[in-house]
Structures are given as C-alpha cells and as structure tokens.
C-alpha cells in the first residue's frame, strides 16, 4: 500500500498512475529534405516516436499488473492527435494535447517546461518517455522533466520491476546492463528491447476514434510564449557529405587479396 | 571558462575524456579562455597527472559517493561545484553517462544542452555547434541565443581528435563534492556484461551483417572475421527483425550510431535508416551481391559477390598476411 500526501490529497492506493510523453516524428524510412532553414514537412509520413511506443507498452503492462490510470500527453503545433489516437487504440485511458501556435518551433527546452507545468497539475506515480526521439535525437525531455519536477531519473531502461513504491530498472550502458534501484515517483526513459509494443486491435482503433482528447494551451498553463524562446538558435541545416568515391570490384581471388591488403593497411 | 567533465570507468578515466578535452580546446583557444577539467571520483588524484599537459587547471571532485556513476550524486556534485562559476561551455562525452547527466545539469545549471555534436567552431566570438539530427541524415548548426551564454556540449564519441599535449602545465586543485548520502535516491546495484561482447560504440572494428547473411548461423562467419580483426559484430534492422541477432547490436537510426575505424558491411543494401548509423565511420567497406546496392556509394572499398564465399577467402588472406588486431 502506498500512502502518500501529494498536492494536499491523501492517496491510499497500490495503483500506479502513469503519464507517458509522446512525440510525433517523421517515419525513419522517410527522405528528409531541407527547405529554407527548416525541413520540408509536406509529403512526410508521421508516426509515433518508436521509443515512446515502448513507453506506452510498458505503461499498459504495469497497469495490467498493478492497476492504475495511464495518461498520454503531447505538446506541439498541429498534428498531435494522430499519435494520441494511436496510444488510445493501444489501450491507454486518457489523452492530453497541449496545442498552441506558440509551440511552433519550440525546441526540447521549451517543450520540457510546458510538459512539466502540465504534469505538475496531475497526480502521478511514474512518468515514462522514450529515451530519445528519432528526429532531434536529443534525449532531453526525460532528464529535463526529472530535473524540473525534482524526482529521480533512470534513463535508457531495458528491464523494469515495480514492487510497491520501489522499482528496479536495467539501464543500457556501454557493454552491458546496469541495475539501478530507486523509488516512485520517478521518470524512466525507454530503450529498445524493453518490450514488444502491441498492435492496436480493430476494436481499439474504433474506440479511440470516439474517445475525447483533453486540450490545453499555454495561457491555461500560465505560460507566456515569449518565455519559450529557444536558448539555442539554428544557424543552418546542411546535408552531410556521406558519399565516398570508393573502388568496387567483382569478387575473385585477386580482388579479395587486394581487399585484404586494404584492410591490413588501415588497421 | 571552458569546462570538460571527465568520464571514468571504475577509477580510471576513459579515452573519450581526451576527445572531450580535444573538443574543449577548439573552444578555449579561439575564445581565449582557460580549459579546465573536472575529475570526479573516489580517488581522482591518482590519475590527474595523465591530464597535466592537456588542461590549464584540473579540479578534483573527490568523494567516496562518486566511485560509481549515479546521476543524482554526479548532478549534485557538479552543480554545487559549477553553480557560482562562469561557464561558457561544459563539454561532456556523449556516452550513456553523458546522455543521462547532460539534461539534468542543463536544468540544475540553467544552461541549454546540445547533443550529438560532431563539429565545433568559434565565429566572431559565437560558439557554433554542428550536430547530427534525423539520424545523421542532416547536420544542424546552432549557436547560443544569448551571445555570451553558456552551453552544455555533448560530443559524439570519436568525432573529435584526442587532445594533444599543449604548452600548459596544468595545476591540480581539490574541490569538495559536498554530497549528503541521505539525499541520494538512485542506488546502483550491479552491472551485467553482455555475453562476451565488446560494445559497438567502443569497438575499433565492426563487421556488420544484413539480410544477405541469411540466418543466425550465418553470423558465425562474421564473428570469426570480427574476432580476427579485434572487433565485434553489428547488424542491420532486417537482420535484427528476422531474429538472427539481438537488438543491442543493431546499427542505424533506431539502433546504435557507430563510428569505428573500420566498418565492414556484409549483405547490407544500405537503406537510409542504416546509413544514418554508420557513415561517420573512418573507413567503410562493403561486400554485397548487388552491384547497385546503395552501400557501395558510401564505401571506400567494395566487393561485389556472395559474402558466404568471399568472407572465408578473406579470412584466409588476412591470416596469411599476418594481420594484427587493432589496438
């Protein structure tokens, strides 16, 4: 039994209430093209960030084992409904969308502050995030939320066991897995391998279409858009030069010998 | 000041610390600022001399609670140490430690964080950081909105040359970590090494296999070649999705980004998703049956042929030539 005083409400429950943060990203197979100082958005296929999907799946597994409510939240300019509906179709209970024109162009620093503000108004035991998004690849939001909310962070987890108020998580580090122990509330970020996300069933997809999304905006959170000015300004976007004018030979004993010689010369 | 946070394994600094110092010097010299190294640990004085000629000042952050990395202890110690000091930049290695700690320090020190940095320039006093986004398909260059503002720079491993010995003769000073054990909430209980594997981001040689390998057994041949070259085995997403290799060795946008000295792609066509994770390698070699495979466009050397026939001959050739493992 967890007995905890939070925001003046005495909660007596063994349930684990979970918030999962979601981001909409271009599909990793997409061809990303530079347009002006940004990326051409037209024609891109958008998906739920794959690492966030591990977060949603883990939340649903914890709910099945411990009970509790799973809420997903996203913050940004238009288009976030798709990723919220995907999570609803997978089986989460509630979806929150911080939708505000003032968030257009906001980077991970601003988005973290907005999410922290919204989350701090809700009782929760656990926050799950993807370890990073596949577009910016900053891996910032999870750590920033932990810092802003003053709760422990365990990043890039591949294993998780919750028992009561404590948990044990396996973090992916160079060469292996590190076991870390801490107590809830906490922020955990999901690494690939944590679970296999379920495919939404047709019934779930139909139900998700009718479920209500709760909308918030910056004024309702008491945030002035000017406070969200990015602390890092973009100077340019460029394509890396990845092409190499290498030698390509058909396989025969001579070419393989030459290939071996090349390997030997560089190592 | 330009600060560099050392990363240690046990009580030894890791090589990536020298790369972070190399990156730090790219800022310190043009900005005419001192380059200072923070060495956290339970006995950092024991290896401070390694860095004497590579930094202007070395600060020992000594505490038994810093013997193993745990983010709240490190965050507490580094924040307490830096909060009253001028920070133009804090360079952290982009390892599992730096990626964990960087965003926490960004909040506690109230300075922005920039990840996956592969290029550093100073232009008219402004710090320009180039970083990989969209899995390296695009390079984004940013600068601090506040012209004199600080920034935490997380660097990609192997993107920067290790710092050479400079003219400086660093001084070593001790600082108190000021940690209170009771306030620490993260307990590190243990570490399990993955079965005999060298970590992909640390391996000097990666022999990587894709759909063309054909089966889990097919990877044995790649393992033999990798062992001969002193490296390890990687895999493309299709090989992982087929269940032939674990996801921990997946290279690409949804796997690891690797920058070894030698990347040998075997039976990998070279989808953008995969290229995103390996084109930063020093040398890229490829073996593929399809002469039009995109992997050849990003390769320094390619062999068109069946990898199952090419690799055994290649192994014999390398053995005959007495190839030495990468040190």
- Per the model's pLDDT, the better-predicted residue between A36 and A167 turns out to be A167
Interface touch B139/A240, C-beta < 8 Å: yes
- Measured between CA atoms, the residue of chain B closest to residue A37 is B140
Q: Kindly report, residue by residue over B240-265, the tens digit of the pLDDT.
A: 999 999 988 999 988 888 989 999 99
pLDDT at B327: 44
pLDDT at A13: 58
Residues of A in contact with B253 (CB under 8 A): 28, 134
Q: Which of A136, A152, A193 sits opposite B72 (nearest CB)?
A: A152
Q: What is the mean pLDDT of residues A7-24?
A: 76
On the CB side of A119, CA atoms within 13 Å amount to 35
Q: Kindly report, residue by residue over A180-194, the tens digit of the pLDDT.
A: 999 999 999 999 999
What is B2-183's CATH superfamily?
HUPs (3.40.50.620)
Q: Which residues are A250's β-sheet partners? A: B304
pLDDT bracket for residue A3 (50, 70, 90): very low
Residue A112 φ then ψ, to 5°:
-60, -40
Per-residue pLDDT for B326 more than 60?
Answer: no
Interface touch A143/B140, C-beta < 8 Å: no
* CA distance linking residue A12 with residue A10, whole number of Å: 7
Nearest-CA distance A210 → chain B (Å): 32
Q: B81 near B173, Cβ under 8 Å? A: no
Partner A contacted by B136 (CB < 8 A): yes
What is the helix (H) or strand (E) element at residue B24, kind and residue range?
helix B16-31
* CA distance linking residue B268 with residue B238, whole number of Å: 9
Nearest-CA distance B171 → chain A (Å): 32
pLDDT at A207: 94
Residues of B in contact with A249 (CB under 8 A): 302-304
Q: Kindly report, residue by residue over B130-159, the tens digit of the pLDDT.
A: 999 988 889 999 999 998 899 999 999 888
Residues of B in contact with A32 (CB under 8 A): 134, 137-138
* CA distance linking residue A146 with residue A161, whole number of Å: 19
Q: B234 near B208, Cβ under 8 Å? A: yes
Residues of A in contact with B278 (CB under 8 A): none
End-to-end CA distance of chain B: 35
Interface touch B321/A109, C-beta < 8 Å: no
Top-level class of domain B205-320 = alpha beta
Least confident of A143-147, A234-238, B161-165: B161-165
Question: How is residue A228 written in tokens?
Answer: 């969200």
CA angle B263, B133, B123 (to 5 degrees): 105
Q: Kindly report, residue by residue over A36-91, the tens digit of the pLDDT.
A: 888 998 888 999 999 999 999 999 999 999 999 999 999 987 889 999 999 999 99
On the CB side of A42, CA atoms within 13 Å amount to 1
B window 98-117, beta carbon within 8 A of A: 99-104, 106-108, 111-116
Residues of A in contact with B284 (CB under 8 A): 244, 246
pLDDT bracket for residue B325 (50, 70, 90): low
On the CB side of A210, CA atoms within 13 Å amount to 4
> In Å, what is the CA distance from B261 to each residue of A63, A245, B147?
45, 18, 36
Partner A contacted by B121 (CB < 8 A): no
Q: Which of A162, A161, A116, A109 is nearest to A21 (CA)?
A: A116
DSSP output for B145-191: SSTT--EEEEEPTTSSPPPPP-S---EEEEEE----GGG---EEEEE
Q: What is the dihedral of CA B6, B7, B10, B15, to 10 degrees?
A: -100
Per-residue pLDDT for A20 more than 90?
Answer: yes
Q: Kindly report, residue by residue over A198-233, the tens digit of the pLDDT.
A: 999 999 999 999 999 999 999 999 999 888 999 999
**Per-domain boundaries in chain A:** 2-240
Q: Which residues are B133's β-sheet partners? A: B138
Furthest CA-CA distance within chain B: 63
Q: Kindly report, residue by residue over B178-199, the tens digit of the pLDDT.
A: 888 888 999 999 888 876 667 8
Q: B238 near B215, Cβ under 8 Å? A: no
Q: What is the mean pLDDT of residues B57-68?
A: 93
**Per-domain boundaries in chain B:** 2-183, 205-320
Neighbouring C-beta atoms of residue A217, cutoff 10 Å: 16
* The CATH number fitting domain A2-240, selected from 3.40.50.620, 3.40.50.10070, 3.40.50.720, 3.30.70.1290: 3.40.50.620
């Amino acid at each position: 039994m967890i007995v905890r005083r939070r925001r003046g409400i005495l909660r007596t429950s063994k349930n684990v209430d979970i918030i999962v943060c979601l981001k909409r990203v271009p599909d990793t197979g997409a061809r990303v093209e530079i347009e002006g100082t940004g990326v051409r958005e037209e024609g891109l296929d958008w998906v739920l960030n794959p690492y966030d999907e591990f977060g949603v799946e883990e939340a649903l597994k914890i709910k099945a084992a411990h009970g509790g409510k799973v809420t997903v939240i996203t913050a940004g300019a238009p288009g976030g409904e798709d990723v919220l509906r995907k999570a609803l179709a997978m089986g989460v209970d509630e979806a929150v969308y911080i939708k505000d024109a003032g968030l257009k162009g906001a980077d991970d620093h601003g988005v973290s502050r907005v999410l922290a503000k919204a989350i701090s108004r809700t009782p929760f035991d656990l926050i799950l995030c993807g370890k990073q998004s596949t577009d910016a690849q900053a891996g910032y939001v999870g750590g920033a939320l932990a810092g802003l909310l003053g709760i422990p962070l365990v990043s890039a987890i591949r294993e998780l066991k919750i028992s009561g108020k404590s948990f044990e998580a396996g973090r992916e580090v160079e060469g292996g897995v590190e076991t870390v122990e801490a107590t809830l509330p906490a922020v955990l970020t999901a690494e690939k391998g944590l679970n296999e996300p379920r495919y939404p069933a047709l019934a779930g997809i139909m139900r998700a279409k009718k479920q209500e999304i709760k909308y918030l905006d910056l004024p309702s959170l008491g945030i002035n858009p000017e406070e969200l000015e990015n602390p890092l300004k973009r100077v340019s976007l460029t394509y890396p030069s990845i092409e190499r004018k290498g030698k390509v030979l058909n396989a025969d004993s001579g070419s393989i010998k030459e290939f071996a010689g090349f390997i030997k010369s560089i190592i | 000041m330009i600060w560099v946070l050392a990363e240690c394994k046990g009580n030894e600094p890791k090589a990536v610390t020298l790369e972070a110092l190399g990156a730090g010097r790219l800022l310190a010299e043009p900005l005419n600022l001192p380059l200072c190294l923070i060495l956290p640990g339970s006995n950092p004085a024991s290896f401070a001399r390694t860095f004497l000629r590579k930094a202007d000042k070395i600060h020992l952050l000594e505490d038994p609670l810093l013997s193993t990395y745990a983010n709240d202890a490190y965050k507490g110690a580094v924040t307490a140490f830096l909060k009253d000091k001028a920070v133009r930049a804090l360079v952290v290695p982009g390892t599992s430690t730096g990626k964990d700690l960087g965003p926490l320090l960004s909040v506690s020190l109230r300075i922005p964080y920039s990840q996956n940095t592969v290029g550093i320039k100073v232009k008219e006093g402004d710090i320009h950081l180039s970083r990989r986004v969209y899995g390296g398909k695009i390079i984004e260059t940013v600068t601090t909105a506040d012209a004199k503002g600080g920034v935490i720079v997380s660097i990609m491993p192997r993107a920067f040359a290790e710092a050479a010995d400079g003219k400086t003769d660093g001084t070593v000073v001790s600082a108190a970590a000021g940690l209170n054990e009771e306030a620490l909430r993260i307990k590190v209980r243990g570490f399990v090494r993955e079965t005999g594997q060298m970590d992909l981001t640390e391996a000097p040689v990666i022999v990587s296999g894709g759909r063309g390998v054909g089966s889990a057994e097919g990877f044995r041949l790649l393992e033999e070649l990798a062992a001969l070259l002193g490296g390890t085995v990687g895999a493309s997403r299709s090989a992982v999705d087929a269940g032939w290799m674990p996801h921990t060795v997946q290279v690409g946008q949804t796997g690891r980004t690797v920058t070894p000295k030698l990347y040998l792609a075997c039976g990998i066509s070279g989808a953008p998703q995969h290229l995103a994770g390996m084109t930063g390698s020093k040398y890229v070699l490829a073996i593929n049956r399809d002469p039009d495979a995109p992997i050849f466009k990003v390769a320094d050397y390619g062999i068109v042929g069946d990898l199952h026939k090419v690799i055994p001959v290649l192994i014999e050739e390398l053995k005959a030539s007495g190839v030495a493992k990468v040190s």
